[in-house]
Structure 1
Amino acid sequence: MSQLQNLKVETSGIISRAWYFLGVLLLCCASALFPIGGWADSQRELALGQMTDLADEIVVGKVTSSVPSWQGRLIVTVSTIEVIESIKGQTGLTMEITQLGGTAVHPRLKVPVHMSASGSAVLNPGEEVLLFVRRAKGGIRDLIGGPQGKLVVKVDPVTGDKIISIGSKEISGTDEKGRRTITARETTLNEIRREIKDHIQRGSKAIKSGDETK
């Protein structure tokens, strides 16, 4: 899981040698419990096409809750997503995204402990998001490329269109003359949905063509 990158453990202002070794121990536990493939994904910038290929499911949804808790020696946050639209894969009305990290009271020490990992995405209740989801071991769902797998959907106050900030990712589009163009930084949900579906369709055609030549 991508969340293994830069694992940090903090308590309420108390830092000791014991907590240092606890952090090392937790990292080892995390490596054993969570798949490591996503970690490599979080180390590099992924293009939209790559994220689409890697994702088992791509959904537009609303974050309804994010609940951190201790699971063994790890703090894990489970975020519940109300699925508004499924762009890739078969999903139900809701899904849960499991990520390493969060703040929870230690069951024995009774003090708040914060565990963070730079490969985790923060899913805030109330947000509408576009998520690129991977089904990990045991049916657990996490995000492709960590934070890269979450794109926040907002409403343009002028046009009313749903828009997404995409940073440096390249999104292909088609102008009025049918030519391919590139937009960056910000695009509409409709545009990114179309690009994802076009990419999936191109991939399906390539697979079908390859099967026919065998």
Structure 2
Amino acid sequence: MSSALTIQGIHHITIICSNAQRTIDFYTQVLGLRFIKKTVNFDDPGSYHLYFGNEVGQPGSVITFFEWPGASKGHPGIGGTHHFALIVEDYNGLLQWKRRLVDLGLSVEGPLDRHYFKSIYFNDPDGTILEIATRGPGWTIDEAPDAIGTEFREPPPEMIVNNRDEARIQAETWPEPVPEITRSMALSQGMHHITAIGSDIQRTQAFFG
């Protein structure tokens, strides 16, 4: 394949919000992202288009929002996005995020061990599901780098819902309050992944693979 045709990664994700200022406050003051642009939706000039990202708005770090206050409440469905995940460098940073978010009054699920990374889940003011995920241990923990994705991998049984120690998970957090976002918590590295919903796993694999 020509290098000019190679997809190099995620550029951004665009989501719907109902209130521009509330969204700005959450993503800058709670999550510490930089507000990099406020313009209008080029295809709907009557609505705002908000952009958040790292210090320079590097592709892969960018989350954008259309402000559509009259839109109906979204729900997961085929062809839609279930959630997106931002990268935190390590597990200490993840636990600090849990403590910070809980202290700010958010409901947080996790930390959950996803084998390839550990993560927490919570919602933004409009109900969008967000995940913060650790960079490691990575996709090569159970496959060689040149063979990832070539075989079906069953997750460890203890990581599956109904087998997890939910009491331990709920209790696990950072021991001290986290009023400020520390360097180890920085989300400026961008998108970890986006999870969407499909109706046919083989067709989806053929399309994206």
Interval of TM-score (by shorter of Structure 1 and Structure 2)? under 0.3
State TM-score, norm by structure 2: 0.27
| Higher RCO structure, 1 or 2 (CA under 8 Å, sep 6+) | 2
Higher strand share: 1
Which protein shows a greater Rg?
1
**Which structure dedicates a bigger proportion of its chain to helix?**
1
